[in-house]
Amino acid sequence: MQANASLLHPSKEALFYTKNHDHSIVCELCPRNCKVPHGGHGYCRVRVNRNGRYFSIVYNRPCAIHLDPIEKKPLFHVYPGTKAYSLGTVGCNLHCKFCQNWDIAQANPEEIPVPLKSPEAIAEAAFRQDARLLAFTYNEPTVFYEYMIDCAKAAAQRGIESVVISNGYMNDAPMKHLLPNVKAVKIDLKSFSPSFYRDICDGNRDPVLKTLKTIADAGTWLEIVCLLIPSLNDKDDEIQRLAAWVLKELGPNVPIHFTRYQPLYQLRNLPPTPAETLNRARQLAIKAGCRFVYTGNVPGLPGEDTPCYSCGKLLIRRYGYLIRENLIRDNRCPACHTIVPGIW
Ligand code: SF4
């Protein structure tokens, strides 16, 4: 694609690309593997080819920064009750018709002017605001990969760990390169159906499954979110197949969050997800053998809490993003002393 993005000065050479003799490049960061001619940009619109060299144009350019509860990511088994200094840029490597952050994820970089913030400035701001974590979120962090890694390294120097909130649409080599720099990853598994990924997200399902296995195999803490959209990905059969796959390939300790869809972007004709759909999905995954299954975006449902999978004692009580009670001590259930998987 030819680039309007050329309006922005490219600030950092990209990682993971190969050069061709004709000054085109192939970006190897995500499964799209965009071939980009000189003067063009990739599908995500935030990486541009200048005379056969590939650059990120969102490096140093976060367009959204907030101090969020870690529960909002959601990561329920990572330092409950702490704050994550959260940032994102414009751009995405999928095009989901239901995008919940479409105003930045589907924007062009030159449409949203932002002040420049170096990784050191981000780390300093996170430190000053007493953030326990740095979170890469809001849009897809894959597309600001170089900035993400440098911010994570700068934050680590200040004793702040990093978490990634991603669609999982990243190639294996960059994911393996990223993981030593982060403490936990949340992946949106948008559906278990390949046709959903193709027709609703303009992507493919299998690279996301591969990413999930890579993260689990690396031993990095992993949680999964499934946004349930009425009539599109909420059938019992699909949820059962998804839960069975998670159980077999990732194990019973990976939390799954079934969350409510709000009508946005190009799918406004569908209603919000009924609470009973979330409860039903949760019960199906528990029945399949998953130990930590949550509901989200509907405060007050029983699926917000964390019980001990061994004795059933209620360990963490939540309401929305609030922690009402946390009884976990030394990583264990206080009643039966079973270790509770997570980062406490
Ligand atoms: S990260 Fe962007 S440019 Fe690179 S392959 Fe993916 S969509 Fe294309």
> Rounded to 5 degrees, what are φ and ψ at 56?
-85, 135
Percentage of the chain modeled with pLDDT above 90 = 91
Average pLDDT (177-201) is: 98
Q: Which of 54-58, 106-110, 292-296, 336-340 has the lowest mean pLDDT?
A: 106-110
Query: Which of 13, 47, 53 maximizes ligand 1 atoms within 8 Å of its Cβ, making it the mutation to test the pocket?
Result: 47
Question: Whose CA is closest to atom 2 on ligand 1?
Answer: 44
Q: Which domains does the chain have, with CATH numbers?
A: 4-56 (no CATH), 64-326 (3.20.20.70)
| Beta carbons of 61 and 16 less than 8 angstroms apart | no
Per-residue pLDDT at 6: 46
pLDDT at 257 over 50: yes
| Beta carbons of 271 and 263 less than 8 angstroms apart | yes
**pLDDT tens by residue, 235-256:** 999 999 999 999 999 999 999 9
Which tokens go with 11?
A: 């600030």
3 state SS of 295: strand
**pLDDT tens by residue, 52-104:** 999 999 999 999 999 999 999 999 999 999 999 999 999 999 999 999 888 89
pLDDT at 179 over 80: yes
Q: How confident is the model at residue 267 (pLDDT cuts 50, 70, 90)?
A: confident
Average pLDDT (116-128) is: 97
Per-residue pLDDT at 10: 65
Measured N-to-C along each axis, helices 236-249 and 275-288 cross at an angle, to the nearest 10 degrees, of 40
- Decide: 139 in ligand 1 pocket, CB within 6 A: no
Interatomic CA distance for residues 20 and 53, integer angstroms? 10
Per-residue pLDDT at 88: 97
Per-residue pLDDT at 243: 98
Which tokens go with 173?
A: 């080599």
Degrees to nearest 5, angle at CA 85 with 79 and 91: 120
Bridge partners of residue 66, in order along the sequence: 86
Interatomic CA distance for residues 77 and 247, integer angstroms? 18
- Decide: 47 in ligand 1 pocket, CB within 6 A: yes
Q: State how far the alpha carbon of 184 is from the alpha carbons of 25, 113, 210, in Å.
A: 31, 30, 17
Please state the atom number of ligand 1 nearest to the C-alpha of residue 36.
Answer: 3
- Of 255, 181, 169, whose CA–CA distance to 218 is shortest? 181
Mean pLDDT value across the chain? 95
Q: Residue 275 C-alpha to ligand 1 middle, in angstroms?
A: 36
Per-residue pLDDT at 5: 44
Measured N-to-C along each axis, helices 236-249 and 206-218 cross at an angle, to the nearest 10 degrees, of 40
